[in-house]
Amino acid sequence: MSATLKYQEKELKLVGTRPLRPDGVDKVTGRARFGADYNLPGQLIGKVLRSPHALARIKSIDTSAALALPGVKAVVTRDDFAEMPDEMAAVGELMINFRDVTRNMMAREKVLYDGHPLAAVAATGESVARAALALIKVEYEVLPHAIDVVEAMKPGAPLLHEHQYTQGVKPKPDRPSNVAKRLEFGHGDIAAGFRQAEVIVEREFNTKPVHQGYIEPQACLASYSADGQAELWTSTQGHFVFRAQCAKVLQMDVSKIRVTPTEIGGGFGGKNNIYNEALAIALSRKSGHPVKMVMTREEVFSSTGPTSGANVKVKLGCTRDGKITAAEAELNFQAGAFPGSSVNQASMCAFTRYDLANVRIVGHDVTVNRPKVAAYRAPGAPIAVFGVESVIDEMAKKLGIDPIEFRLRNAAKEGTQTYYGPKLGPIGYIQTLEAARAHPHYRAPLGPNQGRGVATGFWFNIGNETTCSLNLQEDGTLTLMLGTIDVAGGSRASMAMMVAEELGIEFDRVRPFVGDTASLGFNFLTAGSRGTFASGMASVIAARQVIEKLRQRVAKIREVPLEAVAWKDGHARPVDATVAQFAPMSLPEIARMAGKTGGTIAGHAEINAQGAGPGFGTHIVDVEVDKETGAVKILRYTVVQDVGKAIHPAYVEGQLQGGAVQGIGWALNEEYVYGEDGVLQNPGFLDYRIPVASDLPFIDTVIVEVPNPNHPYGVRGCGEVPIIAPMAAIANAIENAIGLRLCEQPLSPPRVLKAIDEAAAARR
């Protein structure tokens, strides 16, 4: 069903508490099985040969020497995969061009980035597989490449795809371009808005690609049967989506691939799409053996993820009393080697915290010789918001208005018309701003070279296709089979809590599992902060079906009308002593009799969850800038966010903290460094620096709960909003500390020091 369950306020016993997650003990004791922990008898090891060039035509691939090496059981190249049509195909809500997917998985005419796969081998061991890779002879015609988004957009830039003409411009361009798409959003009269403005701020920003930085590299194990059935174990954010993608590129029936998701050591959007999975199945098909493929960290960096680097221009017009009259932005996003950056979402998120009469955003999706970008937590939004919230801050300062007060004067609220479509429903943006302003952090004193910054973020959150099955077992305990991956956030606990709350029983009585693709119908990715919202809704629907059946059974057993049976505190009871009198029955009592009263009791939901509630957050950060080194230290960090309802507050806090920390890394240190030759120079955690615990203060959180009216417990989703604000908040704090507006991410010591030195030179 196309489901929305309305929010009902009620007394809660379990929702809002903090029980231990069902996967917790296994994860701390090492029993949990991640992608690389699966093995099959007789398995081979698969390895991938990757391009050493940023752009080159493939003149030939000779695998004969590799195949002749003892222990090598199969080699696949471009010749092993069918050509796919150049069109967008839907996989759930994802629109995917499988022509590009097959080419990203295995280069065809050209290699398009350092790390681009062009052959894969399966051998009896890893050393044999590596030796085989070295024996594959590839003839390249190396071509000039384009790696910077601004450079790649220029006419005459080295071209990745000869068939690519910019979409979204009229008339149709007469020559191909690296600009895959131009898009535009907006409403009102932008020129009139700027004419009304008394103050205008305009800035240009540049960000670098950053990686999702999950701890667990991609790992999978595939087994293909001689009758055309495949099994796949993989670390994924969406086993149904992986199945669909593998089926498509391997030209198999969907139901002939069974995908079992492993525990996942982080994803953050980076495990939404297949990399080695279809290669492993193809190698298994060719070799007749199971094939295991585990990426190295270097492969993860060079060939998966990252998010876009971008060039962002923002222009804002305001009246002197702090009313925004016009907001304009241009977002130029690197897509990597194939089109499909998140410039679309970034455009929609850029200004959607403000109630604006005149807005215009132009976005460009630009192919460059880098790995194809992947989603990364609120895809694209942090990039656009880095620019917008920096300009907002600068404007507030120019106007002499407190930055939170300035945002409040322009804040989006229920009824605000967005520039991309819907009117906003009940939202909690103003509440987060007010909570931030009231927080002691906002008034705490600052020392020398210290500064405070504020920024805010918005994310849509989504619902989408979701299924689950809730089975009452013969002792009255329940198993809950979920179809959305628990991407280490603890969502299994939240779903079990909602079911237990509905049934009025203890948390421990509901055992949640994530099922494989044969267990349930299609589930979309765990993405868009949809897990707890959509699977929660499905779980509640299933729980209510179970309650309905329990009441029916008791009505039958006690010989009373169904209407006389209420469900309360884990028992079927008379609705009211005047209607019927019967001894209450507990869940275990009814469960024991289920076989005899008509069979086991279950609830099932197959829904396309509607009514996701937008999320808003306000971040406050204090920094100290070391003027000698340019190092920025985070002194204090507070995340205030409206999550609708925190089912399990500890895990919501974890999301808020985790998002903020990833944003801090993005702001301060993370970046892909390419040489002149287009080769990635820092594919490892030693040279690509993500924040570690010793870099950070405890991240304080304030959970605001403005219930989403379209969820039974008011859930909005919370995983993405917290990564949006940090870059801007930190840039604003640095400006507050040292008076310099930095517009180039990362705000790393060399760059900060350079800005300080340049400012000092200018003053001299």
Residues 475 and 360: their CA atoms lie apart, in Å, by 60
- Residue 29 interacts with its own copies (CB under 8 A)? yes
Q: Any contact of residue 682 with its own copies (CB under 8 A)?
A: no
Query: CA 689 to CA 670: how far, in whole Å?
Result: 6
Write the secondary structure of 350-376 as one string of H (helix), E (strand) and C (coil): HCCCECCCCEEEEEEEEECCCCCCCCC
Question: Residue 479 interacts with its own copies (CB under 8 A)?
Answer: yes
Contact status: 1 vs its own copies (CB under 8 A): yes
Of the candidates 6, 12, 18, 25, which one interacts with its own copies according to CB under 8 A?
A: 25
* Residue 65 in contact with its own copies, rule: CB under 8 A: no
Binding residue for its own copies (CB under 8 A) from 87, 109, 162, 474?
474
The angle at the Cα of 710, spanning 707 to 713, to the nearest 5 degrees, equals 50
Stretch of 336-344, 346-354, 601-609, 664-672 contacting its own copies, by CB under 8 A: 601-609
Question: Cα(329)–Cα(383) distance, rounded to whole angstroms?
Answer: 12
Least separation in angstroms between CB 391 and its own copies: 38
Is 253 or 559 the residue whose CB approaches its own copies more closely?
Answer: 253
Nearer to its own copies, 224 or 442 (CB): 224
Class of residue 193 by CB neighbours under 10 A (exposed 0-12, middle 13-18, buried 19+): buried
Q: Are 720 and 378 in contact (CB under 8 A)?
A: yes
Query: Contact 213/665 with Cβ under 8 angstroms?
Result: yes
Q: Should residue 223 be labelled a site residue for its own copies when binding is judged by CB under 8 A?
A: yes
Residue type at 211 in one-letter notation: H
Q: Is 227 in the site for its own copies (CB under 8 A)?
A: yes
Token pair for 725: 């604000």
**End-to-end alpha carbon distance in the chain:** 69
Q: Is 3 in the site for its own copies (CB under 8 A)?
A: yes
Q: Is 595 in the site for its own copies (CB under 8 A)?
A: yes
Strand partners, 48: 120
Nearest to 590 by CA among 480, 502, 509, 476: 476
- Quick check: 75 and 61 in contact, CB under 8 A? no
Contact yes or no for 664/637 (Cβ under 8 A) = yes
- Work out which of 196, 296, 319, 608 binds its own copies, going by CB under 8 A: 608
Based on its alpha-carbon atoms, the radius of gyration of the chain, rounded to whole angstroms, reads 27
Is 511 an interacting residue with respect to its own copies (CB under 8 A)?
A: yes
Instruction: Give me the 234-263 binding string for its own copies, x by CB under 8 A, dash otherwise.
Output: ----------x--x-----xxxx-x-----
Q: Does 39 bind its own copies (CB under 8 A)?
A: yes
- If DSSP codes are grouped into helix, strand and coil, which group holds residue 195? helix
Give min distance, CB of 597 to its own copies, in A: 8
Q: Which stretch binds its own copies (CB under 8 A): 53-61, 219-227, 454-462, 625-633?
A: 219-227
Question: Closest distance between its own copies and the C-beta of residue 1, in Å?
Answer: 5
- The reply to whether 473 sits near its own copies by the rule CB under 8 A is yes
- What dihedral angle (degrees, nearest 10) is formed by the CA atoms of 622, 623, 624, 629? 180
**Segment interacting with its own copies (CB under 8 A) among 226-234, 266-274, 394-402, 743-751:** 226-234
Closest distance between its own copies and the C-beta of residue 345, in Å? Answer: 20
Query: Quick check: 24 binds its own copies (CB under 8 A)?
Result: yes
φ, ψ for residue 505, nearest 5 deg: -125, 175
Contacts with its own copies, 688-707, as mask; x by CB under 8 A: --------------------
* Closest CA relative to residue 455, chosen from 498, 505, 391: 391
Q: How would you label 369-397 residue by residue, b for 16+ Cβ within 10 Å and e otherwise?
A: bbbbbbbbbbbbbbbbbbbbbbbbbbbbb
DSSP notation for 517-529: TTTSS----S-TT
Choose between 52 and 504: whose C-beta lies nearer to its own copies: 504
Q: Please, which residue, 225 or 449, has the CB nearer to its own copies?
A: 225
Binding of residue 20 to its own copies (CB under 8 A): yes
| 661 within 8 A of 676, measured Cβ to Cβ | no
DSSP per position, 290-336: -EEEE--HHHHHHHS--PPPEEEEEEEEE-TTS-EEEEEEEEEEEEE
517 binds its own copies (CB under 8 A): yes
Do 337 and 216 meet the contact criterion of CB atoms below 8 Å apart? Answer: no
* 518 touches its own copies (CB under 8 A): yes
Q: Which is nearer to its own copies, 145 or 509 (CB)?
A: 509
For residue 451, CA distances in Å to 271, 444, 472 come to 37, 11, 56
Q: Could you give the count of Cα atoms lying within 13 Å of 763 in the half-sphere of its Cβ?
A: 8
Does residue 730 contact residue 738 with C-beta atoms inside 8 Å?
Answer: no
Q: Least separation, in Å, of the C-beta of 551 and its own copies? A: 15
Site string for its own copies, 451-470 (x = CB under 8 A): -------------xxxx-x-
Chosen residue from 167, 296, 477, 586 binding its own copies by CB under 8 A: 477
Cβ proximity to its own copies: between 163 and 596 the closer is: 596
| Nearer of residues 317 and 611 to its own copies, judged by Cβ | 611
Single out the segment in contact with its own copies by CB under 8 A; choices: 154-162, 416-424, 477-485, 741-749.
477-485
Of the residues 229, 296, 417, 682, which one makes contact with its own copies according to CB under 8 A: 229
526: contact with its own copies by CB under 8 A = no
**Shortest spacing between CB 2 and its own copies, in angstroms:** 4
- Beta carbon of residue 296, minimum distance to its own copies (angstroms, whole number): 20
User: What is the size of the binding site for its own copies (CB under 8 A)?
Assistant: 70
For residue 642, give the H/E element and its range. Answer: strand 632-642
Stretch that binds its own copies, among 153-161, 166-174, 591-599, 713-721 (CB under 8 A): 591-599
CA distance 122 to 222: 11
Minimal distance in Å, beta carbon 727 to its own copies? 34
Nearer to its own copies, 296 or 477 (CB): 477
Phi, psi of 243 (to 5 degrees): -60, -45
Please select the residue that binds its own copies; options are 312, 314, 472, 652, rule is CB under 8 A. Answer: 472
Contacts to its own copies by CB under 8 A: 1-3, 20, 22, 24-26, 29, 31, 37, 39, 41, 90-93, 223, 225-227, 229, 244, 247, 253-256, 258, 288, 464-467, 469, 471-475, 477-479, 481, 508-511, 513, 515, 517-522, 592, 594-602, 604, 606-608
